[in-house]
Amino acid sequence: MADISTNRENNPEAFDEFTQRTKKTKTNHGDEQGENGRESGKNVLSGFQTTTVLSDSAREKTIFVHGKLADQNAVVILEKTPIREGALSEIFAASTLELDMRNDIYCTYRLRSPPHLNEMKATVVCPATEKHVQKYQRQESFLVEETTDDYQSITLPFIQKQSFSVQWVYNILEKKAESERIVFEDPDPKLGFVLLPDFKWDQKQTDNLYLIAITHQRNIKSLRDLTSEHIPLLQNIFQKGKEAIQQHYSLPGSKLRVYLHYQPSYYHLHVHFTKLGYDAPGCGVERAHLLTDVIQNLHSDPHYYKTRTLSFPLRADDGLLAQFKEAGKL
């Protein structure tokens, strides 16, 4: 597993988690967290009261918990992080071992590594809306086929009525949050974008590399809004995004999956860069549209995404699914 340029021993600050990285975000409880967002070891989760476990996965080593943080609704996501190759020698040298079982040439142990090698990634959404809670509840999903008319009469009005907040996106574009995490920026108002690690990536190894490119243009909601006039923007993101990732992480474009989601989780145009071989959430055929295909389709038909029927999955509790059902489309 390839470590990322800096290592923890030399640069412990570079590895601090969510709270530290978002220190410039203005949250409702920003002041309680102190200047550096974590107030030297103070545990903002110590008062967390669990309401329910929304979902968990033994394979992904994650658990999504709904609960209360100081009387506010909160969602906490805990995730065990991958083992870094660079940590191996210290794990072997400094852990305690307890024998579990011995049989022939096979032994299993319970290994307890030093605390600093045993971190979890904790993501906190607080105050969390009902939508956040819903989003992480284990759900069945259904495939919807959206015609251009369905988009106009069902999806677009739903998006407009919901007014999903993209304040966090504007915070990134305006350097009010996560500015120290920016990997690359093209400041051009028309063709420009900001490239930074997605929340889902702990940045400790490139195996699960996940970056997002967020456009400076604010009026493009999704794939559906794209026409041939956006080809220069998309090509710019594709070229400069790949170059920046090569520079920063020594990964060539041939190791990257570059795509858009439809439906996206937020209606401000963004492009996903994930490492090939990493089964990133939402990278399946029912939701991901390769950027190269998008560019080609717009070349062959300037209004391709305005006119085509697009398929995508919706979760059982998604309000949009209810709208499709109500219109008799499911």
Residues that bind ligand DD3 (CB under 6 A): 123, 125, 132, 168, 178, 196-199, 212, 265-266
Q: How many angstroms from the chain centroid is the CA of residue 110?
A: 32
Shortest approach of ligand DD3 to residue 133 CB, angstroms?
10
Shortest approach of ligand DD3 to residue 197 CB, angstroms?
6
Peptide bond before residue 263 is cis, with ω within 30 degrees of 0: yes
Compare residues 121 and 150 and give the one whose CB is closer to ligand DD3: 121
- Would you give the end-to-end CA distance of the chain in angstroms? 45
Compare residues 269 and 298 and give the one whose CB is closer to ligand DD3: 269
Report residue 17 as tokens.
């988690």
Report residue 144 as tokens.
């919807």
Compare residues 252 and 284 and give the one whose CB is closer to ligand DD3: 284
List residues bridging with 135 in a β-sheet. Answer: none
Shortest approach of ligand DD3 to residue 43 CB, angstroms?
19
Helix ranges, the chain (H): 18-21, 88-94, 130-135, 148-150, 156-162, 167-173, 231-249, 291-300, 304-307, 319-326
The CA-based dihedral angle spanning residues 10, 14, 18, 24, taken in that order and rounded to the nearest 10 degrees: 140
Compare residues 74 and 144 and give the one whose CB is closer to ligand DD3: 74
270 is catalytic: yes
Shortest approach of ligand DD3 to residue 29 CB, angstroms?
16
Shortest approach of ligand DD3 to residue 199 CB, angstroms?
4
Q: Which long-range contacts (CB under 8 A, 24 or more apart) does 42-47 make?
A: 44/19, 44/69, 44/124, 45/69, 45/76, 45/122, 45/124
Q: Pick the catalytic residue: 230, 270, 272, 289? A: 270
Which residues are catalytic, by number?
270
